Structures are given as C-alpha cells and as structure tokens.
Amino acid sequence: MNDLDINGQFVSQFETQSLMQDLRHIIEQARSHVAVTANYEQTMMYWHIGERINRDVLGNQRAEY
C-alpha cells in the first residue's frame, strides 16, 4: 500500500513506519536527556541548600541530633 506525501510522490508503508520509528526514538532520547538534566539540577540544588545551611546556620559544625 502506498500513500502520497506532501510533494505528490508515493511513499511506501515501510518508509512511513521507519520514519515514525525514527521520530519516536528522537523524542524518547530527548525526554531521557531532559529527565537526566532535571535530576542533576535538582540534586545540585539540594546540595547547595545543604551547603548554605551548614555554613550560615551551623557554622560548619555538625548538627546535634
């Protein structure tokens, strides 16, 4: 089964499926990269918060529990 593309040329179902698979892969890679970057930034935020509390509130001393 063939379909017409936007240029009026025939595109096979295989080519369409291959294109869709490639696009899904690109999207999944981008989503994964966004998740890794967000996790890194969140971890660094918490580290900076802890470092600031340690320095300004605890005077670089260990907290008593």
Tokens representing residue 35 in the block: 């998740």
Provide φ and ψ at 2, rounded to 5°.
-115, 150
Question: Is residue 15 helix, strand or coil?
Answer: helix
| Residue 20 included in any domain | yes
Domain count, the chain: 1
pLDDT tens sequence across 25-51: 999 999 999 999 999 999 999 999 999
Q: Detail the DSSP E strand segments found in 5-47.
A: 10-12
Amino acid at 8: G
Provide φ and ψ at 10, rounded to 5°.
-80, 135
Structural domain containing residue 23: 2-56
| Residue 61 included in any domain | no
Section 13-29 average pLDDT: 94
pTM: 0.63
Query: Is the Cα torsion angle 51, 55, 58, 59 positive or negative in sign?
Result: positive
Section 40-63 average pLDDT: 94
